Amino acid sequence: MTGFPILSVLIAVPMIAAIACLFVSANTARMLALAATLIDFVLGIMLWMNYDIGGAQWQFVEHAPGIFGPFGWSLGIDGFALMLIMLSVFLMPICIGASWRSITTRVPEYMAAFLFTEVLMIGTFAAQDLFLFYVFFEAGLIPMYLIIGIWGGANRIYASYKFFLYTLLGSVLMFIAMLYMAKTAGTTSIPALMNYEFPAHVQTWLWLAFFASFAVKMPMWPVHTWLPDAHVQAPTAGSVILAGVLLKLGGYGFLRFLLPMFPEASGQLTWLIFGLSAVAVIYTSLVALVQSDMKKLIAYSSVAHMAIVTIGLFAFNRQGIEGAMIMMLSHGLVSGALFLCVGVIYDQLHTREISRYGGLAINMPKYAILFLFFTMASIGLPGTSGFVAEFLSLMGTYQVSTWTALLCTTGIILGAAYMLYLYRRVVFGEIKSDDVRGMVDLSAREFWLLAPIAAVVLWMGVYPESFLAPMRKDVSVLLARVDRAKPANDSNPTAGRPAAIVHSAAHGEAH
Amino acid sequence: MDYAANIAMTLPELVLALGAIALMLVSAWGGEKSTRAVSIAAVFVLVGAGIALVGPASSGGYAFDGLYRADAFGAFAKVLIYIASAVAIVMAPSFFARTHGDDLRPEYPVLILLSACGMGIMVSATDMLTLYVGLELQSLAAYVLASFMRRDGRSAEAGLKYFVLGALASGILLYGISLVYGFSGTTLFSGISDAYAGTKSLGLLFGLVFVFAGLAFKISAVPFHMWTPDVYEGAPTPVTAFFASAPKVAALALSVRVAVDAMGPATDQWRQIVIFAALASIILGAVAAIGQTNIKRLLAYSSINNVGFALIGLAAGTPEGVSGVLMYLTIYVAMTLGSFLIVLQMRGDDGQPVETIDSLAGMSRTRPALAAALAIFMFSLAGIPPLFGFYAKFAVFSAAVDAGLFPLAVVGIAASVIGAYYYLRVVKTMYFDDPAPAFAPMESKVEGGLIAVAAVFVSPAGYLLIPVLGAWTMAAARALF
């Protein structure tokens, strides 16, 4: 594969297809979008196959410095980026498939917006230049704004504004911090900056500026309020991509910028992350419990799950970081699948009110089984990806802060409560009305959208090693970098404990 | 220095002045039927002036014993000015073809040429009196242009307001110049610079404040912006497009030259004024635009907002900052002209211009290409990557951060989010709302072509021009230091 600019091609394929989509009819646009996303998926698989596990930290590197003046076209991936790119290219064809019938107006523009989103997501994960990253990161607002605003629900305009302005406000502060970093370090290369030592007092300011951006994107409590609005109003595929990939940009940012670039500040401000995350887990889980709108419920559950990601990342140990990464992948798949499940019944009844449904198990058995599977994965049932994710993250956190681990573990219980409650109200019980009785089970298209996700969720739950292996070396590099700033922990009082850590790491791998 | 060398350095202004006089004679004898020919000839005169920039006119140094300086900075600004002026001439015929009673007359291109000549003198002036002569030549032509639709009440009002407030601004500027002259004993920038480098004096400081206040009027920076929305709304649309582009470039370039060249040693003093004007312009330009329903008023506030961002580059007071200002202006001119060219297409079934934002509703379905172009301009004005407007902000904020002006950068960029709101509102109206009656179809292929060129320039494709533009703006900025 040497010499073949696979990352640029990954970005170029949907880009070209997006532009082409604008000039063709609705059906051609659908086919074109599906073809482009499938090509990207195949390219993604090639990327994974050719990724040298344990090899160089940055692979598939492409450099064209200076073609944009102060910054250049510079791409390259490590294990983290590889996994998140895989998630993006995997979900994209599913999103196109999910919109096949439900989107009937302005189809070419819709497909173009989705393909642009794919371009920007892959670009964000692959960018190795600070400003190239920012451009991709920020540009994602435009297609998402249009997707929510044009094809969204009744209150879409409010939601689209809120989404756009909230995330923009977070990001612009990061931009100023980036300008400062580029000037101080004299480079815009992300790998170089990841090893640059900023003075400790500067780190805190830079950390806060980046935090403002990624916390909104993540989203962390209390800046999460745009998410439920955006999710509820977005079309199904928009929600999938929002929950599946765009939220991961926040976690990726923490991993790529905050921890390695500002280790001291990260260590000092761990309390902030833990505090906000613990509140998020409990508060948003409780809020999810009382929702009457299915999408809103899943949106709040996303906030809770993302909080597990942040505590894992800031645990400063292998289990925590690996758990956080698996959580991002798992949540991307599971919440995406849950939104698809909501979409399936929304397309038939055009309501997301939980109380309008009930007894779907009777006339939609296939749907009930898949929905159950994803519900269990969201709860974190052993055997699904959710279990691996939550277990590793919380185990990592426990080694640093027993209190945070305790508080966040309640999220699993509450998560089980709201998900099972949702499932009971929608799927079990008696059919209450005629229109629900008239609903039909999954079509072949819908089944084949959900089945691959279910397979991957199961794969990740049973044999997470496939997903952990590419990231293992990167986790080691990151840990070597942040180890000196590791916050004091409160759970290892005796000298004999390190053996337990070794054991638990091996345990994590065995899953 | 012999006379021929002086003339070679001022060749662009001479081309414009002689061209304008010749065309004025043509129009005096030819009457209204010569309009088309004069317009075409005027564009060629502008092209000729642009060609005249090659050679000593862009690198010759001081002419006429230091009254005028032919350097890369002036040349760069002039290129922008000439392009914007040419576009203002090209876009006029289709607008005036539809107005009742007020046809396009050949004076229009002539006045634009005279104004362009004045602007050329402004950006190359290295003497307070050259500066004033250039400024007045530009302004007087502009006052007439603003009220070019004689029978239209709004246009007449715009011209009058512009004249009265412009005269006030000129008075303030002259007062400042007289103070500076009184305390430094010279009107030459080099001498003034020496005076500021010497002992501090209250008189010089007052002179500086008044000069900057006068210049703030001309660039419509807050708190001297109040004429802008009224004039922009009332003036004929091609004239508004002209006001929002060429004179803005000229006045900003002039301000930069005065600040850096004449008052460079007093940077710490004027920096406070510039920072205040920058932040006030950004915030007021953003907040006041939110309630607007007229697209021209909205763009007027947008221009105030954008001047604020450009001033951030000046506040840095470094070559990078000046280069950032020029980069900002380049991109701003493309975005503004593009937006106004689209405003020009907003015509009802009867061919009359409509200016409400609501009339854009659903344009993405009735006129998808036009809507996409306006969306590009709006996102670009808001500074959202990957559009080129982001790089404009990048350039000025980068300079401000390099100069250590962190609070300015943080407040400025945070306020840009407020501005994003009203740009988004235009996009929302076009894309999310149900269609309003479609506009009359576009008649001019040239206008469509210009919109396309501007849209491609501010699209991500523009990023490929950064190395070239960056080198030019940097060379231009270095000429001042």
DSSP A9-65: HHHHHHHHHHHHHTTS-HHHHHHHHHHHHHHHHHHHHHHHHH--TTS-SSEEEEEEE
Q: Please report, as a single letter, which amino acid is at residue A182.
A: A
3-state secondary structure A415-476: HHHHHHHHHHHHHCCCCCCHHHHCCCCCCHHHHHHHHHHHHHHHHHHHCCHHHHHHHHHHHH
The residue whose two tokens read 């498939």 is A97
Q: What mean pLDDT is predicted for residues B434-458? A: 84
CA distance A257 to A280: 22
CA distance A369 to A359: 13
- Residue of A124, A162, A176 for testing the chain B interface, max B β-carbons within 10 Å: A176
pLDDT at A84: 92
Query: The tokens of A389 are what?
Result: 């994710």
Residue pLDDT, tens place only, B347-357 = 877 777 888 88
Minimum Cα–Cα distance from A139: chain B residue: B385
pLDDT at B41: 93
Q: What mean pLDDT is predicted for residues B204-226? A: 90
A180 to B406: CB separation less than 8 angstroms, yes or no: yes
Q: What mean pLDDT is predicted for residues A344-366? A: 84
Q: State the sign of the Cα–Cα–Cα–Cα dihedral A380, A386, A389, A393.
A: negative
In angstroms, the first-to-last Cα distance of chain A is 31
The residue whose two tokens read 């009744």 is A154
Residue A497 reports pLDDT greater than 70: no
pTM of the model: 0.90
Give residue ranges of B with CB < 8 Å to any A CB. 364-365, 379, 384-386, 390, 394, 397-398, 401-402, 406, 409-410, 413-414, 416-417, 420-421, 424, 427-428, 431-432, 463-464, 466-467, 469-470
Q: Which of B428, B464, B467 sits opposite A149 (nearest CB)?
A: B428
Minimum Cα–Cα distance from B469: chain A residue: A69
Q: Please report, as a single letter, which amino acid is at residue A359.
A: G
Neighboring chain A residues of B416 at a CB cutoff of 8 Å: 172
B230 φ/ψ angles, rounded to the nearest 5 degrees: -65, -45
Residue pLDDT, tens place only, B45-82 = 999 999 999 888 888 888 888 899 999 999 999 999 99
B275 φ/ψ angles, rounded to the nearest 5 degrees: -65, -45
The residue whose two tokens read 């989203």 is A219
Query: What does each C-alpha distance from B194 to B123, B125, B213, B274, B325 come to in angstroms?
Result: 21, 17, 22, 21, 25
Residue pLDDT, tens place only, A196-235 = 888 888 889 999 999 988 988 888 888 888 888 888 888 8
CA distance B172 to B139: 15
Query: The tokens of B40 are what?
Result: 């075409």
Reported confidence tier of residue A148, pLDDT bands at 50, 70, 90: confident
- Residue A286's nearest CA partner among A418, A380, A423, A403 is A418
A69 to B467: CB separation less than 8 angstroms, yes or no: yes
DSSP A488: P
Query: The tokens of B307 are what?
Result: 């001047």
Percent of chain B at pLDDT > 70 equals 99
DSSP A243: I
Residue pLDDT, tens place only, B238-276 = 999 999 999 999 999 999 999 998 888 888 889 999 999
A70-109 residues touching B, CB cutoff 8 A: 70, 106, 109
Reported confidence tier of residue A491, pLDDT bands at 50, 70, 90: low
CA distance A54 to A477: 11
Contact A217, A246 (CB under 8 A): yes
- Residue A384's nearest CA partner among A460, A489, A482, A306 is A460
B301 φ/ψ angles, rounded to the nearest 5 degrees: -65, -35
The alpha carbon of A386 is separated from its chain's Cα centroid by a whole number of angstroms, namely: 13
Contact A77, A52 (CB under 8 A): no
3-state secondary structure chain B: CCHHHHHHHCHHHHHHHHHHHHHHHHHHHHHHHHHHHHHHHHHHHHHHHHHHCCCHHHHCEEEHHHCEEECHHHHHHHHHHHHHHHHHHHCHHHHHCCCCCCCCCCHHHHHHHHHHHHHHHHHHECEHHHHHHHHHHHHHHHHHHHCCCCCCHHHHHHHHHHHHHHHHHHHHHHHHHHHHHHHHCCCEHHHHHHHHHCCCCHHHHHHHHHHHHHHHHHHCCCCCCCHHHHHHHHCCHHHHHHHHHHHHHHHHHHHHHHHHHHCHHHHHHHHHHHHHHHHHHHHHHHHHHHCCCEHHHHHHHHHHHHHHHHHHHHHHCCHHHHHHHHHHHHHHHHHHHHHHHHHHHCECCCCCECCEHHHHCCHHHHCHHHHHHHHHHHHHHCCCCCCHHHHHHHHHHHHHHHCCCHHHHHHHHHHHHHHHHHHHHHHHHHHCCCCCCCCCCCCCHHHHHHHHHHHHHHCHHHHHHHHHHHHHHHHHHHCCC
pLDDT at B211: 92
The residue whose two tokens read 């800031």 is A314
pLDDT at B378: 92
B384 to A173: CB separation less than 8 angstroms, yes or no: no
Query: What does each C-alpha distance from A105 to A95, A99, A101, B151, B476 come to in angstroms?
Result: 16, 11, 10, 46, 50
pLDDT at A511: 47
Q: In this predicted complex, what is the ipTM?
A: 0.89
Reported confidence tier of residue A493, pLDDT bands at 50, 70, 90: low
- Residue of B309, B377, B381, B390 for testing the chain A interface, max A β-carbons within 10 Å: B390
A179 has a chain B CB within 8 A of its CB: yes
Residue A163 reports pLDDT greater than 90: no
Name the CA dihedral angle for B307, B313, B316, B319, rounded to a multiple of 10 degrees.
-140
Residue pLDDT, tens place only, B103-149 = 788 889 999 999 999 999 999 999 999 999 999 999 999 999 998 88
Q: CB burial class (10 A; 0-12, 13-18, 19+) of residue A484?
A: exposed
Residue pLDDT, tens place only, A85-121 = 999 999 999 988 888 888 888 888 888 998 999 999 9
Query: The tokens of B369 are what?
Result: 């290409």
Contact B388, B380 (CB under 8 A): yes
Reported confidence tier of residue B86, pLDDT bands at 50, 70, 90: very high
pLDDT at B312: 92
Percent of chain B at pLDDT > 90 equals 49
Q: What mean pLDDT is predicted for residues A62-84? A: 86
Helix (H, G, I), strand (E, B) or coil at A357: coil
pLDDT at B323: 92
**C-alpha angle B28/B34/B36, rounded to 5°?**
135
CA distance B24 to B117: 14
DSSP A246: I
3-state secondary structure A57-120: CCEEEEEEEEEECCEEEEEEECHHHHHHHHHHHHHHHHHHHHHHHHCCCCHHHHHHHHHHHHHH
Crossing angle between the packed helical segments B319-345 and B466-478, to the nearest 10 degrees: 120
Query: The tokens of B177 are what?
Result: 């110049």
Q: Please report, as a single letter, which amino acid is at residue A156.
A: R
Contact B10, B70 (CB under 8 A): yes
B467 to A142: CB separation less than 8 angstroms, yes or no: no
pLDDT at B1: 57
Residue B6 reports pLDDT greater than 60: yes
Query: The tokens of B317 are what?
Result: 């007071």
Residue B347: strand pairing partners: B353
A168 has a chain B CB within 8 A of its CB: yes
Interacting residues of B155 by C-beta distance below 8 A, sequence separation 6+? B102, B146, B147, B148, B149, B234, B235, B236
pLDDT at B223: 87
Q: Please report, as a single letter, which amino acid is at residue A83.
A: M
A67 has a chain B CB within 8 A of its CB: yes
CA distance A348 to A435: 9
Percent of chain A at pLDDT > 90 equals 17
More confident residue, A432 or B210: B210
Q: What mean pLDDT is predicted for residues A383-387? A: 89
- Residue B42's nearest CA partner among B103, B114, B100 is B114
Q: Exposure string (b/e) for A142-156, b if CB count within 10 Å is 16 or more?
A: bbbbbbbbbbbeeeb
Average pLDDT, chain B: 89
Q: Which of A67, A146, A164 sits opposite B431 (nearest CB)?
A: A146
Q: Which of A134, A136, A149 sits opposite B432 (nearest CB)?
A: A149
A198 φ/ψ angles, rounded to the nearest 5 degrees: -85, 145
In angstroms, the first-to-last Cα distance of chain B is 23
Beta pairing class for A71-77 and B61-63: unpaired
Query: The tokens of A345 are what?
Result: 């019944």
CA distance B138 to B122: 9
CA distance A14 to A487: 43
Neighboring chain A residues of B421 at a CB cutoff of 8 Å: 161, 165
